[in-house]
Amino acid sequence: MRCLFLAPLKPPDHPVPSGERTMARLFMKLLDTLGYQVDLASTLRSYAATPAPERWAALHAEAALEVERLAREAETAPVAMVFAYHVYYKAPDLIGPALARRLGVPYVVAEASRAPKRADGPFARGHSLAEQAIDTARLVLAPTVHDREVLDRLKPAGQLVADLKPFLDLAEWPKAGAPRASSGRRLITVAMMRTGDKLASYLQLAQALARIEELGWMLSIVGDGPARPEIEAAFARFGGRVSFLGAVTGRPALGRLYATADLFVWPGVNEAFGAVYLEAQAHGLPCLAGGYGGIADTMRVGETGLLTPAGDIGAYAGALAGLLDDEPRRAAMAAAAARFIATERTLTIAAEHAARALRTAGIPVPGDHA
C-alpha cells in the first residue's frame, strides 16, 4: 500500500536540523514500520512566520500543479492514503485534502492544531485554510492534551481524533539506556540558536542560572544559528562554566553528550512539545522545562521531569537548585526517565497505537488482510 507523505511546515529532507524535521522523519518511519510504501509527495512549503497575504495566490497555483502531477502518477502507482504532518494556521496543507478527494482515499493528519483566536486578524486566511484541511481529515492523531481538547471540541461529524504521544526511535540512539555515573552538576541543553522563541528560552535559562551562580554547575550548550552572538553574550558572565559545542547533528555523537550530562535544562518557550525532552530522557536525564504548550506530554511530570510556570524565572531557578541539591531524587528521576521512554515512547509502541487508530477509522493497514 502506497502512502503519500506531506509536511507543509518543513519537509523531512530540509537541510536545516530541527525538532520539526526530526518528527516528520519519525512519522515516515512509523508508516514504513506499519508496512506502507511511504513516498514524500511534495516539498512545497506553505509556512509563513508572519502574515503574507500576497503569497497565497502563488502557493495555491503551485499546490494545484502538484495535485495534478501526483494524480497522474497515481494512475500507474495507486495510493492508499494521503498523510500530512503538522497542519496549523502558519502552515496549512494546500495539497493533501484536494489530492485525497481526487484519488478517493483517506486523508490523515498528525499534529493538527486548531487556533480559533486566529479566525480574525492578520493570520485569518492561513487559519481558514488550515481549518478546511483539518476538517477534511478522516483521522487526526493528536500528540498533546493541549491540542486534543480543541480538536475534540471542533471536530466534524465522522472524524476520529486519537492520541499518539510524542515518540522516538531508540535504534537511532546507541547510548540510550546505558548505565551512567552521575556527579549531579553537569547540565546540558540542545537547541537551535534562532531569534524568537529559541532566543527567549536561552535568555530565560541564563537568567535562571544567574540566580544560582554559587552552585557548582557546569553547562554544555549544543546548537548554532544566527542568534549565537546574542546567546554567547547572555552567558558570558559565567566564563568557562559554559561550553558552546556548536551544532551536533549525528545521533551517536549527540547521544554521547547526553550520556555525559546529569540534567537537561531547556525552558521551551512556546514549544509545541519538544523532541529534545524525549531524547534526553532516553539517556537517563531528568528534564527541567517551563509549562508551555504540550511539553507536559513528553514526560511524567514529577517523576521523570519537572515543569515550572511559563516565564517564571524564579521558579525555574528554584527547581534547578532543588535538583542540584538532591542527588537521591535525581537518581530516581534518571532511572524513571530511561524506563519511561523504553516502555512507552518508542517507535514500535507508537506504531501499535497508530495502527489501532487507523483501523478504528476504517483505514486499512498493510498486512491486515494478508
Q: What does each of the 370 residues of the chain score in pLDDT, given as a tens digit?
A: 999 999 999 999 999 888 899 999 999 999 999 999 999 999 999 998 887 788 899 999 999 999 999 999 999 999 999 999 999 999 999 999 999 999 999 999 999 999 999 999 999 999 999 999 999 999 999 999 999 999 999 999 999 999 999 999 999 999 898 877 666 799 999 999 999 999 999 999 999 999 999 999 999 999 999 999 999 999 999 999 999 999 998 999 999 999 999 999 999 999 989 999 999 999 999 999 999 999 999 999 999 999 999 999 999 999 999 999 999 999 999 999 999 999 999 999 999 999 999 999 999 999 786 5
Residue 96 and residue 42: Cα distance in Å, rounded? 10
Residue 180: its pLDDT value, please?
A: 72
Residue 156: its pLDDT value, please?
A: 97
**In the CATH hierarchy, which top-level class contains the domain 171-344?**
alpha beta
Residue 369: its pLDDT value, please?
A: 61
Please, where in the chain does CATH 3.40.50.2000 lie? 2-167+346-360, 171-344
Q: How many CA atoms lie within 13 A of 242 on its CB side?
A: 22
Burial 137-167 (b: 16+ CB within 10 A, else e): bbbbbbbbebbbebbeeebeeebbbbebbbb
Residue 181: its pLDDT value, please?
A: 66
AA letter at 10:
K
Four-way CATH pick for 2-167+346-360: 3.40.50.2000, 3.30.2270.10, 3.20.20.370, 3.30.413.10: 3.40.50.2000
For residue range 299-332, list pLDDT tens digits in order.
999 999 999 999 999 999 999 999 999 999 999 9
Q: What value, to the nearest 5°, has the Cα angle with vertex 229 and ends 228 and 234? A: 95
pTM equals 0.93
Residue 330: its pLDDT value, please?
A: 93
Residue 263 and residue 284: Cα distance in Å, rounded? 9
Q: In sequence order, which residues have a C-beta less than 8 Å from that of residue 292 and are 6 or more positions away?
A: 267, 268, 269, 270, 271, 310
Per-residue DSSP letter, 155? P
Residue 101: its pLDDT value, please?
A: 97
User: Taking each helix axis from N to C terminus, what angle separates 55-74 and 96-103, rounded to the nearest 10 degrees?
Assistant: 30
Name the residue among 63, 51, 72, 65 with its Cα closest to residue 93: 63
Residue 319 and residue 196: Cα distance in Å, rounded? 25
